[in-house]
Structure formats: C-alpha cells, structure tokens
Amino acid sequence: MAAGAIFGHSAPVAIQLFLCTVGPGDEPHLSGLLARLDEAERDRASRFMFERDRLTYAAAHALLRHALDQVAGVQRPWRFAADAYGKPSLDPSLDGMCFNLSHTDGLVAVAVSRRGDIGVDAESIARAPDESTFTNLVLAPEELAELEGCADRPNRLLRIWVAKEAIAKAIGLGLSLPVKQIVLRGEMPRLIALPEAHGPTGAWSLHSERYGLHWLALATRHGEATPALRIAMTVEQLLAA
Ligand SMILES: CC(C)(COP(=O)(O)OP(=O)(O)OC[C@H]1O[C@@H](n2cnc3c(N)ncnc32)[C@H](O)[C@@H]1OP(=O)(O)O)[C@@H](O)C(=O)NCCC(=O)NCCS
C-alpha cells in the first residue's frame, strides 16, 4: 500500500498499525517532523540530550498524528492527556479511538484501535537482554524452565520482553505492573496468566512478530491484536504524506 494512503474510515477495521523506520541520514528531516508537533511535544523533544533520541521521538509523534488523521479520516490538531501512569489518550476522546506508540532505535510504531485499549511495543534485536534483570524481575518460574537450554535464548528473552511490555502498556500501568506476573508460553508467545485484576487471560489477544531488525508486539483485550491493516513508511514518506 502506498505511503499516505487513506483507509479505515469506511470499514469498521479493528487495529491499524503504522510503522516508520528512522535512523542515520534522517537528521535533515528533524525540523520537518518538529513542525508537525504541538508546543508541548516540541518542548519535550528539545529536552533530549542526543539528537538521535530527539529524532526518534519527533518521528513517533509525527507518525501518531498522521495515524490519527488517517483513521479518523480528517486532519485535526490532536490534543492529548495522560493519566497518572503516563498513558496518553485523546483529549477529548473521539469515537472511542484508542492508540499506543513505541519508539526504539531505528523504528517507531503506532497502533490505533476503535475497540478499546491497546498496547504496542518495539525493540531492536541488537539490544542485549540483561540476564540477571530477566531472571529476577521479568521471567516467571515456568518461563525460566521453558527457556532452560534454549539455543537462541537472547532472542527469546527479547521477544518475551516486548510481548510483556505490550500487555503492560495495554493495561496502562506500564512497568508499574509486576511483569513477572504476566506469564507467557511458547516461541510464539501465548498468554497463560496475569494478575487477576486484568484477566481473564482468554479475553486477551497477543500478536508478536519479527519486523526487520526489531521485535514487535501488540496486545488488547478488545478483539484481535493482529493488525487488520498496516502501513510502513520512511521518514521522508511520512513528511510527504
Ligand atoms: C510505558 C513504559 C512501559 C514505556 O516503555 P518503553 O519501552 O521505554 O518505551 P516505548 O517507546 O515502548 O513507549 C513509550 C510510549 O508509551 C506511552 N506510554 C507512557 N506511559 C504509558 C503507560 N503507562 N501505559 C501505556 N503507554 C504509555 C507514551 O506514548 C510513550 O511515548 P511518549 O513518552 O513519547 O509519549 C514505561 O515508560 C513505564 O512503565 N511507564 C510508567 C511509569 C509509571 O508508572 N509512572 C507513574 C507515574 S510517576
């Protein structure tokens, strides 16, 4: 599908995923991206110490605005509010539109749903997972047992981490949620358990995939997490859209 194609407002599509690759060479586009943001976002962007992080942040928030325009079918000066845990939402909300975004080295992702809360997370496969953090804080005993002797352990750990973060972000508590209590099983992670307040597990849907040099996950308890539509673009295409 061509970058910038308009879709979604005629069909009751559930989750739409927007991806934008960002990296070295995109620095000249920073001012164009910042021009898409509001004052509060530009202020936040200005506080990043490294230009690389500023660029990724600006691309994520420009992509968010683009995604909302596309899903709503109308361009708006979108405004956002954040709850006590920092989860942003539309202010005022529009037609039950929910979104979540993730930015990491090389990729930004925005998921939009009209059905309810959704979480998205992305992580570069180049990131080396810290074993002791995973053993002590992230993995449940059954997950540790499953990974015993696993040949591709760092990769599996990252995939699990990204899936757990997507669930924690859908719930909205982020890392305030004890991620050890989110229990996954299998190479294609399936949700086996999570704190009672956020269950039952059967209500949840989890999508996990390798996207180029990244792991990507989406989670929702409002329908199917696998994106019904997705659009991928470069920063240049985003600015031309
Ligand atoms: C949300 C959180 C898991 C993000 O993890 P991350 O992998 O480092 O970052 P990602 O790029 O994937 O996601 C960041 C985005 O998630 C969204 N986000 C922030 N808090 C969120 C939350 N509680 N739930 C869902 N999404 C959240 C934001 O859009 C944020 O991007 P932005 O700051 O540019 O707007 C982590 O920051 C967290 O746990 N936050 C909660 C902190 C908290 O409990 N605060 C209490 C008040 S002090």
Distance 186 CA to ligand 1 centre (A): 26
Residue 129 has a pLDDT of 87
CA nearest ligand 1 atom 35, residue: 88
Mean pLDDT of the chain: 92
Residues 29-59: tens digit of each pLDDT: 999 999 999 999 999 999 999 999 999 999 9
Residues 92-101: tens digit of each pLDDT: 988 889 999 9
Q: Is the peptide bond before 28 cis (omega within 30 degrees of 0)?
A: no
Q: Which atom of ligand 1 is nearest to the CA of 57?
A: 34
CA nearest ligand 1 atom 13, residue: 102
Residue 11 has a pLDDT of 46
Q: Which atom of ligand 1 is nearest to the CA of 83?
A: 23
Residue 13 has a pLDDT of 63
CA nearest ligand 1 atom 3, residue: 174
Please give the average per-residue pLDDT across 184-195, as a whole number.
95
Domains of the chain: 15-116+222-240 (3.90.470.20), 124-218 (3.90.470)
CA nearest ligand 1 atom 37, residue: 174
Lowest-pLDDT range, 69-78, 128-137, 152-161?
128-137
